[in-house]
Chains A and B, each alone.
Chain A
Amino acid sequence: MAVKIKTNNGLIDISNGVVAIVVGCAATSNYGVVGMASKNAFRDGFDGILNRANYKRGVVVKSEDNRITVDVYIIVGYGLKISEVSRNVQGSVKFNLKNQLGIDTKAVNVIVQSVKVLDE
């Protein structure tokens, strides 16, 4: 499945892999996010940090009309306010999808899959 945008010139089809990269890069640019996690933690390991090529394992995109709902699976550093880090992720994912792909998001759901204890 992909995100389809109707324009006057025709259809724009953005593959989920592209959306996943944009979402993943936006999410991980937020302070406190130590990595993307797999949505399928049981199969892919609970605290495995995804590399960029695998961001799509941690991003679920559902589209309807010209709007999409994104689920983002992240790992947050220990000792941070998880709710606030997640809120920041929502903001930057929404902003970057609009800014880079012109996609309006209906919702950005953040799933904190794991907390990584950073050596102090």
Chain B
Amino acid sequence: MVLKEIDSKKFRDMVRVATHRLGRNAEFIDSLNVFPVPDGDTGTNMNLTIESGAKAVAENTSSMVGELTESLAKGMLMGARGNSGVISSQLFRGFYKATVGLKTMNAQELANAFSNGVATAYKAVMKPVEGTILTVARVAAQEGANKANETDDVEEVLTAIVEGAKAALKTTPDLLPVLKQVGVVDSGGQGLLFIYEGFLEGLLGEKFTDRYQPDEGEMDEMINAMHHQSVQSQLATQDIENGYCTEIMVDLTADVPHKKPFKLEEFREHLSGLGDSLLAVSDDEVAKVHVHTEHPGAVFTYGSQFGQLGKIKIDNMRIQHETIVNNSDEDQQSVEFAVIAVASGNGIRTLFESEGVNRIISGGQTMNPSTQDIIDAIKKSGAKKAIVLPNNGNIVMAAKQAAEVSDLPVGIVPSKTISQGLTAMLSFDPDLSVEENVDNMTQALADVVSGEVTQANRDTTINDVEIHQNDYLGIIDGDIKIAETDVVTAAFDMVEKMLDEDSEIITIMFGRDSNEREAQKIVSALEEKHDELEFEIHDGGQPVYNFLVSVE
């Protein structure tokens, strides 16, 4: 059956369904928003804009389409929010102008209305940026106009408009570089497509489909955009609360023992408790999840209750981010007198920097920097003289060699641990000579007892301490003194052995494999026995060592 005109009842349906469709997908649109300002609110803004228009239409009892379009345009104008909201309000302002006085709309009039909307919208912008909602509206209207020349079926014309919008949306990344770079389509254009699709569904009187199901490609787009937005706001690696970017796909059709019935809302609710930046979508067969969490395992365990896990991916965002930060370290400032320290772990780098260390060379127990690395660091510092803190017994030799071949006066303070390095740094005085500083700083090394807690990787016996694989070892000034199965006990026993009557300050730096809670436990246990001591806890972020402890 050919549908020749749109009456007021049909038009009301169109607006209602379009509003519903956009509203249900506002979050998805938000997630795509990277242009012009990546603030992730396009969907929300467009939704508020069209809701305001829909409300005005609902309040208007007229049976004239021309009067309903006017209400829609006015409502959208009053409620316009954000760039995309303002643009849509203009599109429908032009739309309304072309339908003044109409009781119903035929195919030609419908196409004209869309075209006039585009013409009006383009007038209010100095330099139209292609690859945005404007492009999508323009191509869609063009397709509609072409179709209206061939047929007087409004359904066909509206279908052509939707198809045109869809095709145009796909081209937006090619037109707007920032979209291409992030790998998304334009968010406003996507929003407009939802509106147009809603119009078509309303016109056909179909029971409207619920929340939009992004396909795999679109899912990737969302993820890319989310990452883009989070990179913009993330300043320091330690600010990343949930360190693992975790993605799973659950095959809901597969049978698993004790299979639970799948409900997307519940599923999303539970996962949102496990982390942030959650995206969870599903159809009847598969659920796809992207979440930033500290506990990827918990996500897998939960997901596997509903079916087999398909694709699994985990990225450690802290390492990714640290790499970015490290790479940007190249432009550190040049100084007269540089101090160069070997360290790993973001927290420890920050501690050294806060004490005035100018350059940090990544390294430590498992990756010793070469002599060349140290020479490079001295050169890059641009300083006229330098002090090197190797902070590891294995690196002292390399540092000494670097000092010998360097053209500058370079002094080595033979610090064997991070704790020693941090303490030695307190005695650094840029106004003194290299020799004086080396003397003062080396003397300071004696003031600190260094403790390290790490995990054994094999069975052995050292210094009469029997060690089993996976035991936690307490190492005091380089000698293994403690082997315990519990990390907190190992640390506690180790600190006990490090204390003497002169001890005043205990500094505990917890590493990548430990956390503040464990450090607090150690401190609480120690405080019970020693009320005269002062404690400091830092997030060292170091690999290998669960805890680095210094006793001064």
Contacts and interface: CB of A to CB of B under 8 A. Distances in A.
Contacts of A9: 333-334
A80 B86 contact: yes
A29 B86 CA distance: 13
A88 B78 CA distance: 15
Nearest to A78: B124
Interface in A1-54: 8-9, 28-35
Contacts of A80: 77, 80, 86, 89-90, 124
A35 B126 contact: yes
B77 A32 contact: no
A85 B82 CA distance: 7
B120 A29 contact: no
Given A81-B86, A84-B80, A91 B39 contact: yes
A113 interface: no
A35 B125 CA distance: 9
A85 B80 CA distance: 9
Interface in A60-89: 77, 79-81, 84-85, 88
A79 B293 CA distance: 47
A31 B120 contact: no
Contacts of B80: 80-81, 84
A31 B123 CA distance: 10
Given A79-B93, A80-B90, A84-B80, A8 B124 contact: no
B186 to A, nearest CB: 13
B129 A29 contact: yes
A81 B78 contact: yes
Given A81-B80, A91-B37, A118 B89 contact: no
Contact of A120 (B83, B87, B120, B333): B120
Contacts of B120: 79, 118, 120
Contacts of A77: 123-124
A8 B382 CA distance: 14
Contacts of A92: 36-37
B127 interface: yes
Contact of B124 (A34, A84, A95): A34
Contacts of A81: 77-78, 80, 86, 89
B83 A30 contact: yes
B127 A31 contact: no
Nearest to A116: B124
A9 B36 CA distance: 32
B222 to A, nearest CB: 21
Nearest to A28: B126
A116 B348 CA distance: 59
Contacts of A95: 36-37, 39
B97 A29 contact: no
**Most chain B CB inside 10 Å of its own CB: which residue of A31, A77, A79, A92:** A31
Interface of B: 36-37, 39, 77-78, 80-83, 85-87, 89-90, 93-94, 97, 120, 123-127, 129, 333-334
Among all A-B residue pairs, the 4 with the closest Cβ atoms? A77-B124, A118-B123, A81-B80, A95-B37
Interface of A: 8-9, 28-35, 77, 79-81, 84-85, 88, 91-92, 95, 118-120
Given A28-B126, A79-B124, 9 more contacts: A8-B333, A29-B126, A30-B83, A32-B86, A81-B80, A84-B81, A85-B86, A91-B37, A118-B123
